[in-house]
């Protein structure tokens, strides 16, 4: 599952990068740089701002990948010391899924920005914000509850995380 999750995150990042690379020349100089809560573009700026978002995505991808190599005792996990070894794989799985979700969010924002700049869309979908919040908070809550449940059991998480 870890390899699958990492592949999905890499595909999300590469999609975001290729989207900008292949569309940059055809974009007008002025593009949307901000969307309101309902998904309507309400801020405009230079098309070079797309590279800032790509850079942020690359930085986050790298940072969330490097977390896996931190010493286990550097993670603040809300479980007893005896359950810590079982909780660390869950924490790393949560970070992996959040990395994938973040790359998808960035790719979707870039795709919407390009589409709005090309006159193909009016903005982000009105569903973007609720779906994003449910996905990110859902993943976080799911794994936190799994870690909390370790305190009540002697089970170790399965490899499917």
* Closest by CA position to 117, among listed 18, 55, 27: 27
Model confidence pLDDT, tens digit, residues 88-144: 899 999 999 999 999 999 999 999 999 999 999 888 988 899 999 999 999 999 998
Q: Is position 155 within any domain?
A: no
Q: What are the backbone dihedrals phi and psi of residue 39, each rounded to the nearest 5 degrees, phi first?
A: 95, 5
Angstrom distance (rounded) from CA 20 to CA 116:
13
Q: Is position 159 within any domain?
A: no
Q: Is position 156 within any domain?
A: no
- Which helix (H) or strand (E) segment holds residue 46: the answer is strand 41-46
3-state DSSP assignment of residue 33 = strand
Query: Domain of 103?
Result: 2-150
pLDDT over threshold 70, residue 158: no
151-to-75, 83, 95 alpha-carbon distances in Å? 17, 7, 21
Q: Is position 98 within any domain?
A: yes
When pLDDT is cut at 50, 70 and 90, the band that residue 7 belongs to is very high
CB 123 within 8 A of CB 40: yes
Angstrom distance (rounded) from CA 20 to CA 30:
15
When pLDDT is cut at 50, 70 and 90, the band that residue 77 belongs to is confident
Mean pLDDT of 63-88: 84
User: Which of the pair, 63 or 122, is modelled with greater confidence?
Assistant: 63
CB 32 within 8 A of CB 43: yes
Q: Is position 160 within any domain?
A: no
Q: Is position 161 within any domain?
A: no
How many separate domains does the chain show?
Answer: 1
Per-position DSSP letters for 53-103, written without gaps between them: HHHHHHHHHHHHHHGGGS-GGGS--SS-GGGHHHHHHHHHHHHHHHHHHHH
């Amino acid at each position: 599952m870890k390899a699958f999750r990492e592949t999905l995150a890499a595909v999300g990042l590469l999609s975001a990068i290729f989207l900008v690379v292949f569309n940059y020349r055809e974009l007008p100089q002025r593009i949307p740089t901000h969307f309101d809560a309902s998904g309507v573009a309400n801020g405009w700026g230079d098309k070079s701002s797309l590279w800032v978002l790509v850079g942020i995505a690359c930085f986050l991808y790298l940072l969330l990948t490097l977390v896996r190599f931190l010493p286990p005792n550097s993670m603040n996990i809300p479980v007893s010391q005896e359950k810590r070894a079982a909780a660390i794989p869950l924490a790393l799985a949560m970070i992996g899924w959040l990395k994938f979700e973040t790359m998808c969010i960035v790719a979707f924002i870039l795709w919407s920005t390009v589409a709005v700049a090309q006159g193909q869309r009016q903005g982000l979908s009105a569903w973007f914000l609720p779906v994003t919040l449910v996905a990110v908070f859902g993943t976080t809550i799911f794994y936190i509850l799994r870690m909390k449940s370790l305190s009540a059991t002697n089970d170790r998480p399965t490899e499917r995380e």
